[in-house]
Structure 1
Amino acid sequence: MGELNIYRQLGIKPNFSEIARRYGFDRHTIASYWEEGGDIDDGRCRRTSGFDRHRAVIEEKAALPGVTKKAVHEFLLHRSGDAGLPGYNAFTHYCRTRGIAFSDPGGPEPHPRFETPPGRQLQFDWKESLSMRSRRGELFEFNVFTATLGCSRLHRFVYSRTRTTDDLLACFTAVIRSLGGVPEEWLTDNMSSVVTFSGGRRARSERVLRFAREAGFDLQLCRPGMPETKGKDESANRFLSRLAAYDGDFEDEAELIAVIAHIEARSNAEPNDSTGVPPAALFMREKESLRPVGNMRLLEDMVGDVREQTVPATMLVRAAGREWSVPRKCIGRRVRVIAMPGGQIRITMAGELVAVHDSSQGTRKVNYTEEHYADAISGKARFADADIRAAARENLELLDRMGGAADE
């Protein structure tokens, strides 16, 4: 059709036989289209799409504020288990032809690209004040610490309830542990956990500077009014925007953290727009240029009181003179428990954050979250036909009335 339209514009009569041979049509069909201006029906418009069975979900997700087509396509790949689902280009065509509208955000302001050699720079920031609801309607308000290596563009995303200096240093240690090395220069903007202002001058947190010196990196701040100097980490927002598609579609905090980990893995597996190579592949080369990690235990001690424990069948670990719950999957495994000066209790297993508690809230000796307790009793025969959540709440209330004494 495009070729025939060009012939029309040039005032040239085409060779119908030659066009029919190249495109696989009868020459009379080509001639009829030329003479009558009719469309050529090759049957493709009547084919069903692999997205048709997911159309209700696509329209539901498209109506969510801030969600993008890429986010919904990634959500379908993650959740549907449909191995034959077409690619992203086919998805955009499907949405366009079916009239499914999205409110894709506009692109960023243009600025020149700035490259750094391997191991030189890591850019970091907060994706802050996020809020999402679980399937049960429970509201989760949280932040995500984002870090991006300047050369390979490898992303690291760390879930955090708050954005204190405690949280920042905990995220630093998580990133160093996952990278297995330390970039020379860490670049950020004027985040409050790093910078204070006095008399119109910026001052970097002494506690953060001490950590940087011990870890062996230089802490640098963007020049005022030029946040684009850390534009590689700003691209993390493009990947984290995919979280919007999961609003109302996760069970609890543990699954929310798992979704963020899934988005991180996908961001590192997709070819980068600038390099044309997946960040995870380039990182294998950049890792060789990172500075070696010194005393990791000392770095963790600068964040808070660190203890390694084996999780018992009670699913409770000890910190700050009290006991705190962890997910059922941790039973019998070694975990690291960090009690921070601000009162937060962070528990990791194999480098993965599995539980967060706040010791400043209440004085109970034994502290189970409802999710962990419900997970624990779900396998008990006497709760098989009960509302697990209701049973968990009832037992936790009884535990509170008993003064927090655990029934071993």
Structure 2
Amino acid sequence: RKSKLDGYKEIIEEKYTQNCTARAIFDFIKERGFEGKYTIVKDYCRQFKQAQIKKATIRVEHTIGLSAQVDWKERVTMYDRNGHPWTFSIFLYVLPYSKMKYLELTLDQKQDTLFKCLYHAFKYTGGIPNEIWFDNMSTVVDHKMSDFHHHKFNERFQSFSHDANYHPIACRPFRPQTKGCVEALARTMSRLKPYNHEFDTLAKLNEIIENLRERLNHEKSQGNNQIPIELWQKEKEYLRPINPDLKRYFESVQLRKVSKDAMIRFQNHQYSVSPNYIGKEVEIKPLKKIEILFNGVAIRHHKITNYQFNYDPRDKRAILKNDLMKDKTDEEINQYILNDLSVYD
């Protein structure tokens, strides 16, 4: 017998994997002609979730140096000696072959925080594997451009992965088995419970998590009955070297709005961008030079100077062409720039 869900199942599955509720999906498909009731949508969502969880998984031997798995232990709440609650997350990273683990306390799960934690994990484990498995997190996957079967990574994350020289893999929703090592690590965070009311500051709590990390790496793993740090002594030789330039993805990131003069301000000095970005918000990363990014992509670099106005010749030409010298030829504009480099100053 024909079901009222026919023609809507693919939409329901796609929206449900995007963490939409059954009620929200029902309202969505009803606007598109669905004539059934809410209960059959709710039941189908439940069946779909269970079907994904119960799919068989073949257990495999992990290849040395091949992969790592990443996840978060989200919204952990613990109480200090004064009864004050601290809510935080724990970044989880594990090398499946050796079971070597890295934990880090964080107060958010922003993309810059993810990049910083990954870099720290690379440093702690002595290198970078060929591939890293991630949960279907918004800092990694562009959900607007993805569906249940095909994931598209967001542009800035893809750039970080390329510079780090590893292949990112996003796990399908409702398939915790595909990164079982980091899922098991998340469950061991229950070992923090005895430390409730046993710390005074966030620094002390961070120390407790670091001590747990060291214990986990020096005790036998249930997965292979071996000590992670001993296997890691061999595995680290197979890991790729760390690109120190990765720090630019998370150090000193600041947001600026581009002025109507196509400039951004840093330390009371101004630096140019293309007039195309006027009114838009960009990121700046001041290290040895200023890197200006839009949506994670570098659009301009400047040396840090003591001059009040700092123009890239391409930007100055475009600014003059748009306003002051819009009726002049390119040759006249170029000559004007050569004759008076401090026109705006």
Taking structure 2 as the reference length, what is the TM-score of the superposition? 0.55
Name the amino acid aligned to 1:302.
Answer: Y
Q: Indicate which of 230, 248, 252 corresponds to 1:301.
A: 248
Aligned to 1:173: 119
Aligned to 1:118: 64
Aligned to 1:211: 160
* Structure 1 CA distance for aligned equivalents of residues 252 and 143 of structure 2: 30
> RMSD over aligned Cα, in angstroms?
2.4
* Structure 2 CA distance for aligned equivalents of residues 211 and 149 of structure 1: 19
Q: Which runs of 5+ in 1 are unaligned?
A: 1-107, 307-319, 322-340, 344-408
Question: Structure 1 residue 148 and structure 2 residue 94: aligned?
Answer: yes
Q: Residues 355-388 of structure 1: CA distance to partner in whole angstroms, max 9, x if unpaired?
A: xxxxxxxxxxxxxxxxxxxxxxxxxxxxxxxxxx
Residues 1:289 and 1:215: Cα distance change in structure 2 (over 3 Å):
same
Aligned to 1:195: 141
Aligned to 2:212: 263
Q: Percent sequence identity over matched residues?
A: 31
Task: Work out whether residues 126 and 146 of structure 1, in 8 Å CA contact, stay in contact via their aligned partners in 2.
Answer: yes
Matches within 5 A, 1:9-408: 111-198=57-144, 201=147, 202-294=151-243, 296=244, 298-305=245-252
Which gives a bigger RCO, structure 1 or 2 (Cα 8 Å, sep 6+)?
Answer: 2
Q: Which runs of 5+ in 2 are unaligned?
A: 1-52, 254-265, 268-282, 286-345
Task: Work out whether residues 239 and 263 of structure 1, in 8 Å CA contact, stay in contact via their aligned partners in 2.
Answer: no
Taking structure 1 as the reference length, what is the TM-score of the superposition? 0.47
Task: Work out whether residues 128 and 241 of structure 2, in 8 Å CA contact, stay in contact via their aligned partners in 1.
Answer: yes
Residue aligned with 1:119, SS: coil
* Structure 1 CA distance for aligned equivalents of residues 170 and 143 of structure 2: 13
1:200 deviates by 5.6
Q: Residues 178-206 of structure 1: CA distance to partner in whole angstroms, max 9, x if unpaired?
A: 11211110001201211231266243121
The number of residue pairs the alignment matches comes to 202
Name the amino acid aligned to 1:172.
Answer: L
Residue aligned with 2:113, SS: helix
1:234 deviates by 0.8
Residue aligned with 1:156, SS: strand
* Structure 1 CA distance for aligned equivalents of residues 145 and 110 of structure 2: 23
Q: Residues 278-309 of structure 1: CA distance to partner in whole angstroms, max 9, x if unpaired?
A: 10110001001101123x1x110122239xxx
* Structure 2 CA distance for aligned equivalents of residues 246 and 302 of structure 1: 34
Residue aligned with 1:129, SS: strand
Task: Work out whether residues 182 and 217 of structure 1, in 8 Å CA contact, stay in contact via their aligned partners in 2.
Answer: yes
1:114 deviates by 2.5
* Structure 2 CA distance for aligned equivalents of residues 277 and 251 of structure 1: 35
1:238 deviates by 2.8
Residues 1:342 and 1:231: Cα distance change in structure 2 (over 3 Å):
farther
Task: Work out whether residues 128 and 239 of structure 2, in 8 Å CA contact, stay in contact via their aligned partners in 1.
Answer: yes
Aligned to 2:50: none
Task: Work out whether residues 166 and 342 of structure 1, in 8 Å CA contact, stay in contact via their aligned partners in 2.
Answer: no
* Structure 2 CA distance for aligned equivalents of residues 246 and 235 of structure 1: 20
